[in-house]
Amino acid sequence: MGNDISNISVIGAGSWGTALANLLAEKGRNVALWVREEEVYDEIVREHVNSFFLPDVSLSSRLTPVRSFGEAVSGSQLILIVVPSHVFREVLEGLLPHLVKGMHIMAATKGIENETGMIMSQVAENVLPDSFMKTYACLSGPSFAKEVSAGYPTAVTIACNDVEHAENLQRLFTTPFFRVYVSEDLIGIQLGGALKNVIAIAAGASDGLHFGHNARAALITRGLAEIARLGVAMGANPHTFAGLAGMGDLVLTCTGDLSRNRTVGLKIGKGMKLQEITSGMNMVAEGIKTTRSAYELSKKVGVDMPITTQVYEVLYNGKDPKDAVKDLMTREPKVELEH
């Protein structure tokens, strides 16, 4: 199927959606890119660039911007959803009347729904008929859109319960610079992709406070431990968190200068307030909303997530980041590796 798919819809023209749409278009596929913002749509039509979200990238002539869901998915074999997690359900519900038998749904959205604590595949199960869930897939891993668009070497993972379908998608997305691995662990892949944004805010705040490399390394390592703890409690494969969608994405997002979530943390560490930070951003930092979801999910599942808890206290209760670090460092001593 990887070579049989010729018509693809990408829903969401942010930086990542545009980068993936362009990657597929440059592989010779016909790609309809659904664009929410009128000014972005006009610019892509007029100049074949998306300077709002992915500047300095010339878009393939096989990429066609559209404004309606009906126009986007008409005749498509694969629908790739790349929208912020807080509108994922709304977008799925909007697409639903236009879906027909034989279409495959895939998501590259990283987050946890605030109201329900659901990961995106659970939201999809809530909204879509069962027939679409058999081949539902998700893409995750360490992948800044700007670097993918520049052709820098990148490796990601596609997860699906149907391994054969995952392998078909692997062939579809793979290029000489974009390497794709497959997984059956939908839960782990999604939790790793969502929760690393929370830890990245903590790592950014640590850097903003000039706490040094030791502190950042500790946050990344112990952050991975609590992500895995929640994942295993929810049925994920623990080995997933040592992979691209776990450790790989976590390291990238906690250390990379292109990380929006790390940038939020940096500014918090330097004394800025959350509202002040978000008012100046034109792109979503998923970790802000995911922090609330992850905090509430950890309480619901009964899993200890101390770093997530402190990020929640800083973002939503105005706690001083220095006090948050002190509370983390003076917790009751623990063994490092839990059974």
Identity of the amino acid at 131? S
What span, in angstroms and rounded, lies between the C-alpha atoms of 233 and 296?
A: 14
Chain position carrying tokens 């990020």: 311
- Catalytic positions are 196
- Contact status, residue 265 vs residue 203, Cβ threshold 8 Å: yes
Residue 110 structure tokens: 């990283």
The answer to whether the Cα torsion of 286, 289, 294, 297 is positive or negative is: negative
DSSP, res 58: P
What span, in angstroms and rounded, lies between the C-alpha atoms of 280 and 263?
A: 12
177: enclosing H helix or E strand: none
DSSP, res 153: -
Residue 99 structure tokens: 């879906």
- Contact status, residue 24 vs residue 3, Cβ threshold 8 Å: no
Q: What does each C-alpha distance from 141 to 20, 62, 128, 264 come to in angstroms?
A: 13, 26, 25, 20
What span, in angstroms and rounded, lies between the C-alpha atoms of 41 and 35?
A: 6
Q: List phi, psi (to 5°) of 158.
A: -110, 125
Nearest to 159 by CA among 137, 131, 133, 134: 137
